[in-house]
Amino acid sequence: MILKTIMKTLTTLLLTVAVAGLAAGGARAQEKTATINISIKDHKFQPAEVKAPANKPLLLRVKNLDATAMEFESVTLRVEKVVAAKSEGTIRVRPLAPGRYKFIDDFNQSATGELVVE
């Protein structure tokens, strides 16, 4: 009896999360994506502080102007992407709440920056 209740609660929870995720995904697809440009040159992000609108899906366009590969990584954005030397990578990010989101070049962790969402 208790097991059934637990399984029912767990199933309901997972289904709710799945439905909420699908609904959020559908709603997100209808929102306009904001494109944010970030470059890295001489192993430094340019600009090191980038502004982005809150509650909108984002497309981060990361240009690597250096002669070596870099990896854009952010624990709070929950993304990582290797960008080859002298090339460009794009990363899709969910709509974000206002705040400051750190990012780094994981291949050279002295290169840091922040996405300021407001």
Partner 1 sequence: MAIASNALRAASTIVMLVACVAGARSAAAQSDPSAWPDIETKYVFGYTEGATIGLEGEKEVSWETSARFGKMGGHYTATETKLEFEHTPTQFFQFEFGPLLASHDIRNSAGLTDTRQFGFGGLFGELRFLLLGRGPESPIGLTVSVEPNWRRIDETSGARVTNFELETKIAADTELVPNRLYGAVNAIYEPEWTRDDTGAVTKESTLGLTAAVAFRPIEPLLIGAELGYYRHYDGYAFDTYTGDALYIGPTFYLKLTPKMFMTAAWSAQVTGQDVGSAGPFNLAEFSHHRAKVKLAMEF
Of 38 and 117, CB closest to partner 1: 117
38 is an interface residue for partner 1 by CB under 8 A: no
Query: Would you give the binding string for partner 1 spanning residues 67-86, x where CB under 8 A is met?
Result: ------xxxxxxxxx-----
Give the nearest distance from C-beta 72 to partner 1 in angstroms.
10
| Strand pairing class (58-64; 34-41) | parallel
CA-to-CA dists, residue 27 to 2, 69, 104, 111, angstroms: 37, 35, 30, 35
Is 64 a binding residue for partner 1 by CB under 8 A? The answer is no
Listed in sequence order, the residues at least 6 apart from 100 whose beta carbon sits closer than 8 Å to its beta carbon are: 114, 115, 116, 117
Q: Beta partners for 80?
A: 73
Is residue 56 a contact point for partner 1 (CB under 8 A)?
no
With CB under 8 A as the rule, give the number of residues binding partner 1: 34
Give the residue among 112, 118, 75 at the shortest CA–CA distance from 100: 118
**What is the contact surface with partner 1 in residues (CB under 8 A)?**
1-4, 6, 10, 13-14, 17, 21, 73-81, 93-94, 96-102, 104, 106-107, 109, 112, 117
